[in-house]
Amino acid sequence: MGPEEATKTKKTRKFVPVSSKLEVIRRFDRGERSVDIVRATKGRKASKDKITLMPVINATGDAVLKPLLVYHSEHPRALRNINKKTLPVVFRAHRSGWNTRLIFSDYMTNYVSPFVERYCRKNNLDNRCLMIVDNCTVHPANITEYGGNVHVVFLPPNTTSLLQPCDQGLIAIIKAYYTQNVMRFIVSAIDEEGNSRASLRQIWKNYDIRLAITNIGDAVNRLTVSMRNGVWKKLCPEAVGRSEGFEASSLNPQIVELAREAGFMEVDEEDIEEVLASHEEDVTKEELLQLQDERVNIEGEQENEQSNSEAKAEMEVKHLRELLSIIDDSETIAEQHNPNLERSRRFRAGLEDISSAYRELYDHKRRDAKQLAITSFFKRSNLTEADGEPRPSTSKYAAIS
């Protein structure tokens, strides 16, 4: 079986410690050193916003599969009116926020298997895949076939850190990119709030699962083919081409710079390493039980909200019109006030490229609306002819149309 047919999974956990955020901000406003804050809050109980992320990569690195993301709520407020199929992750829910055998099997059968079929057809390969997974309880040991084209094999016990491709730097890179995105969000939000330190509390409150998923999706998409291929060097060296040799730690200086822009002047690279390492800390059974108790009421409220307000399938015409108007205004401002014509030309071309999908959707909706109006007219005409009252003939107009 060729390396292009080999696929690898890894389960890792990311934490968004909402319950600790206010404590961190309070200590920061009091003037404590950032490293002391991190160490003081290390070991605090994970919040109800913990998620599980399971990225999947193939040996050649050319397949970009959506990672599996498990959240504690199926219908969080932040994702209301969002079509979950359009998310950059395969979104699933479990009260614990952890992956389960049922969720894993569903992901393999309903997402990975169809993806493999499309990938093999596109690349003229036999429709089969060797999926290598670690010896974890959520990976059912008695199930080795999914969808008729995915065969699962397990790594030997206690070899995950030595052989597992995702553990050879890929997860570290994803976490570093994700942290970089979070710091950019904070810097951007503080700038919008007038660079006020007091606004940090509100900024954290606004950081929700939707923003987290967006940042995760961006982090995964920034992985290059060489990065995804290079991490197979220990398990399948013959599949590895020329690797970039990218290290996640190379992003630390950029993250530190962003942190200082956000006001965390004493943050250094050691702090960043410690924060990234904290994402891998396990949650105890006692903490898990507490998390489940905390979520019961919140999930009930969110389920009721979802039943009262179903997600919209697409953007409405008025919102598309507003969005395109803003884009057009931006183009006009750049052309009127930018003395560099080449720069404004590139800006206009970039806007046209990134907005093309929304313009197509807007035109499609307008055509549908016009078609609906015409259909309604003929329906009304048929009704008036059937009501028994004399009406002028419209046949000649119908013939012209």
Predicted confidence band of residue 291 (pLDDT cuts 50, 70, 90): low
- The reported pLDDT for the residue numbered 17 is 44
The number of angstroms, rounded, from the C-alpha of 324 to the middle of its chain's C-alpha atoms is 24
Greater model confidence, 348 or 282: 348
> Burial, 266: exposed, middle or buried (Cβ in 10 Å; 0-12, 13-18, 19+)?
middle
* Lowest mean pLDDT segment, chosen from 78-87, 129-138, 234-243: 234-243
pLDDT tens digits, one per residue of 74-84: 999 999 889 99
pLDDT at 118: 96
Q: Please state, in angstroms and rounded to a whole number, the distance separating the CA atoms of residues 67 and 79.
A: 18
Half-sphere exposure of 324 (CA within 13 A, CB side): 18
Amino acid at 196: S
Domain boundaries, the chain: 3-303, 317-386
> Out of 35-44, 153-162, 308-317, which region has the weakest mean confidence (pLDDT)?
35-44
Distance, CA of 145 to chain centre:
28
* DSSP state letters, 104-166: HHHHIIIIIHHHHHHHHHHTT--S-EEEEE-S-TTS-TT--EETTTEEEEEPPTT-HHHH-GG
pTM more than 0.85: no
Question: Could you tell me the pLDDT band of residue 56, with boundaries at 50, 70 and 90?
Answer: very high
Q: Which residue has the higher pLDDT, 160 or 7?
A: 160
How many whole angstroms separate alpha carbon 29 and alpha carbon 56?
Answer: 40
Q: How far is CA 228 from CA 9, 13, 131, 285, in A?
A: 12, 19, 15, 34
* Mean pLDDT for all residues in the chain: 74
Helix (H, G, I), strand (E, B) or coil at 56: strand
pLDDT attached to residue 258: 74
Token pair, residue 327, equals 């884009």
